[in-house]
Structure 1
Amino acid sequence: MVKATLSRVSVVVLDWDETITVADTMSILANATNDPSRWSGFVDAYMADMKAYEDSFGTRETLEDHYRFLGGLSECEYKSVARIELAGVFKGVTHADIQRVASEVKIRSGFKEFCHKLGVAVEREILSVNWSSEFICSALANAVVTDHWTITANRIEFDGAGTGTGGVSKDKEGGIRTGMDKLRILESRLGACHERGGLLMYIGDSNTDLPALLAADIGVIFGDNRSLQQTCDKYGITVRSFSELCAKDYVEKEKESKVLYRARKWEEIILE
């Protein structure tokens, strides 16, 4: 049993796409390439792989089944990366190209203020399956989010002259492809956080975030993703309003309790 006041949150880990951003940003990143019009074809092929995998997997009766399903999505991701690399989609891309398109990213209202209200001692990290950590960093800078954020995401690979080789890190060891990769990384953060007597909060919006949401001391669902809510209902995961968490002097959470909280806007999330 863990007693946790919100003021004890010492590590905040956030998803990127559709949690911090208004919409998914991969199509924006594609604009950095020489031929953005090709991107829709890669998306269609990826979705076809996903459907074939889902159809072949069978029923997911338990949360453990769901985790196995998420882990198995790696094969779809590997195929997607192989197509992207073979076609040389990111070949010739420059750092300036990435910084240019990052200016198109729309950050959710209230996020900048949320950052400013975080205590200086709170460690902050963005954990994403996005293809480019540089893209995320540039988008934050454009939004004048000046706090120091650790960006843990995949990378577009460059040569010594700063030109894209066409390779990406997503298919390499340590790549972040699925929700189970997010879980692996989050669990590596928990031990050090607890040793210092702190608590870790994870905030995310989709099924990819579910393993990390449940592993965190405090898991916060951002927004109203219908698919994620259906998954929570199916596996007996209770979702409460973030205001209920704020109203308590402390939180008592057992790891087995499967309780998450929901916030629909950044202004609701106050760590005081």
Structure 2
Amino acid sequence: MSSSELRNTWGELSQQYTEEYEQCIESMLPTKKEEFNYETLHTALEKLSDFEKRANSRVIESGVLKGLNFEDIKRAGERLILQDGCTNFLQKIVKDENLNANVHLLSYCWCGDLIRAAFSSGGLDVVNIHANELSFQESVSTGEIIMEVQSPIDKIEAFDKIIQGCSDDKRNLTVYIGDSVGDLLCLLKADIGIVIGSSSSLRTVGDHYGVSFVPLFPGLVKKQKEYGADGSCCIWKGQSGILYTASGWDDIHALFLGH
């Protein structure tokens, strides 16, 4: 495939994805806003899962991922620029012995090696990557994708396995940070779900299914007051229908590290 054909094919795939994604989101929305129910939202997001799988199949059939060199992918990953403050936050989290954090990343990315290279360049080899993988023969991609995490349902299943793999220590706290509709189920399942960024589709779907979005720090103050009121040692509970919004990684850094 020539470079011009490749550009044209990518353009067509991108346009089709965007148009059908918007249609899919619109078709998921109930005629009137509902009270929060995790299972109802889970069922609705199965539509998005079907859409994502069809879109990935089109990418494979197009052949645009065929012939990529493994070393080129690694170099591209090493040059990736993460969101401002993300690398610094994760570096401090994994080094903090008091937190004893186990960090996982769940991604729709077609190539886990790309993500691993990006995190490795920032000294974050300890981050557990859950993503799809390109298939290679002698360091050259075949164009096939080994599907592991391609939908909201795949993400929540992977997240559930991570939680099940943790100890039963009641002091464990699950925190999920996400920025897209595909993260909604995991955000809501975690003890603390933090939305970063300004995804309009995430907000739209969440609003229609009764999810409440609360600014991170006012929400934290309210939770601390609840702690003082009932004396409970565990004030964070998953599937409450409440998500916390952060303007950037600095907010999240301040919450967990305080400096």
Instruction: Please indicate, yes or no, whether the TM-score normalized by the shorter chain is above 0.5.
Output: yes
Shift of 1:68: 2.3
Shift of 1:236: 2.6
What is the aligned-residue identity percentage? 26
After superposition, where does 1:51-70 map in structure 2 within 5 Å?
51=22, 53=24, 59=30, 62=34, 63=37, 64-70=39-45
Maintained 8 Å contact 1:46/1:76: no
Provide the secondary structure at the position in 1 that maps to 2:89.
Answer: helix
Structure 2 unaligned residues grouped into runs of 5+: 228-232
Matched AA of 1:192 = G
Provide the secondary structure at the position in 2 that maps to 1:156.
Answer: strand
Cα distance between partner residues in 2 of 1:76 and 1:228: 16
Maintained 8 Å contact 1:115/1:145: no
Cα distance between partner residues in 1 of 2:26 and 2:84: 38
Inter-CA distance 104–122: structure 2 relative to 1 (3 Å threshold): same
Hey, what does 1:253 align to over in structure 2? 236
Inter-CA distance 212–268: structure 2 relative to 1 (3 Å threshold): same
Q: In the alignment, is residue 42 of structure 1 matched against residue 13 of structure 2?
A: yes
Matched AA of 1:184 = E
Maintained 8 Å contact 1:200/1:218: yes
Shift of 1:235: 2.7
Residues 38-66 of structure 1: CA deviation (Å, up to 9, x unaligned): 21111223334435555666736645444
Inter-CA distance 48–229: structure 2 relative to 1 (3 Å threshold): closer
Shift of 1:177: 1.6
After superposition, where does 1:66-215 map in structure 2 within 5 Å?
66-118=41-93, 119-120=96-97, 121-142=100-121, 144-159=122-137, 161-170=138-147, 175-193=148-166, 195-197=168-170, 198-215=172-189
Give the structure-1-normalised TM-score. 0.75
Provide the secondary structure at the position in 2 that maps to 1:93.
Answer: strand
Inter-CA distance 163–185: structure 2 relative to 1 (3 Å threshold): same
Shift of 1:263: 1.2
Give the structure-2-normalised TM-score. 0.78
Maintained 8 Å contact 2:188/2:240: no
Output the aligned Cα RMSD. Answer: 2.8
Cα distance between partner residues in 2 of 1:219 and 1:36: 37
Residues 62-88 of structure 1: CA deviation (Å, up to 9, x unaligned): 454443232123332333233222232
Considering only CA atoms, is the larger Rg found in Structure 1 or Structure 2?
2
Provide the secondary structure at the position in 2 that maps to 1:109.
Answer: coil
Determine which of 187, 193, 217 is the counterpart of 1:219.
193
Determine which of 227, 238, 251 is the counterpart of 1:268.
251
Maintained 8 Å contact 2:134/2:141: yes
Cα distance between partner residues in 2 of 1:237 and 1:56: 18
Q: Which stretches of structure 1, 4 residues or longer, exceed 4 Å deviation after superposition?
A: 51-58, 60-65
Between Structure 1 and Structure 2, which shows a larger proportion of helix residues? 2
Residues 180-211 of structure 1: CA deviation (Å, up to 9, x unaligned): 21111111122333513311100001211110
Provide the secondary structure at the position in 1 that maps to 2:30.
Answer: coil
Shift of 1:219: 0.6
Maintained 8 Å contact 2:108/2:131: yes
Maintained 8 Å contact 2:113/2:133: yes
Cα distance between partner residues in 2 of 1:259 and 1:58: 19
Shift of 1:103: 4.2
Residues 224-267 of structure 1: CA deviation (Å, up to 9, x unaligned): 32332233333332222222455437762344521211111111
Cα distance between partner residues in 1 of 2:209 and 2:25: 18
Maintained 8 Å contact 1:102/1:138: yes
